[in-house]
Amino acid sequence: MIGRRVKTIKQIKKPGDYCGPITGFTGDKPACFFLKPNARDADASTCAKSIQHVTFPPHTFRECPDGSLEIRASIGDTRQGGTESDGWHGFLDEGHIWRKV
């Protein structure tokens, strides 16, 4: 899926939309907020339908020349400490590309 980077969390509307890094929401750690590619699938879990985020660290990010954001390590399919999968595990790659693993 090709996503899009938006400027604010309020602009995150469609699966694949993301913004960040933003500070102030997760203490002193910058974070990226997003709707995963499966967020509007008919069988998506409640968690998958919600805006989620990762923090830096433990994740790392790279600002790409095209304005996209690359996130490493993988974006997991469970909330921290949880065991229920939200159905999508993968990476955000250069070019706004969401890649499932």
pLDDT in tens, 18-43: 999 999 999 999 999 999 999 999 99
pLDDT of residue 65: 97
**Amino acid identity, position 39:** A
Q: Average pLDDT for residues 74-96, to the nearest whole number? A: 89
- Is the pLDDT assigned to residue 79 strictly greater than 80? no
- What's the burial of 21, exposed, middle or buried (CB within 10 Å: 0-12/13-18/19+)? middle
At residue 50 the predicted structure's pLDDT band, cuts being 50, 70 and 90, is very high
At residue 83 the predicted structure's pLDDT band, cuts being 50, 70 and 90, is confident
Q: Average pLDDT for residues 69-91, to the nearest whole number? A: 89
Cα distances (angstroms) measured from residue 85 to each of 3, 8, 64, 78: 21, 27, 29, 5
Question: In terms of Cα–Cα distance, which of 9, 29, 22, 32 is closest to 91?
Answer: 32
Instruction: Tell me if 76 sits within 8 A of 88, measured CB to CB.
Output: no
Q: Average pLDDT for residues 67-81, to the nearest whole number? A: 90
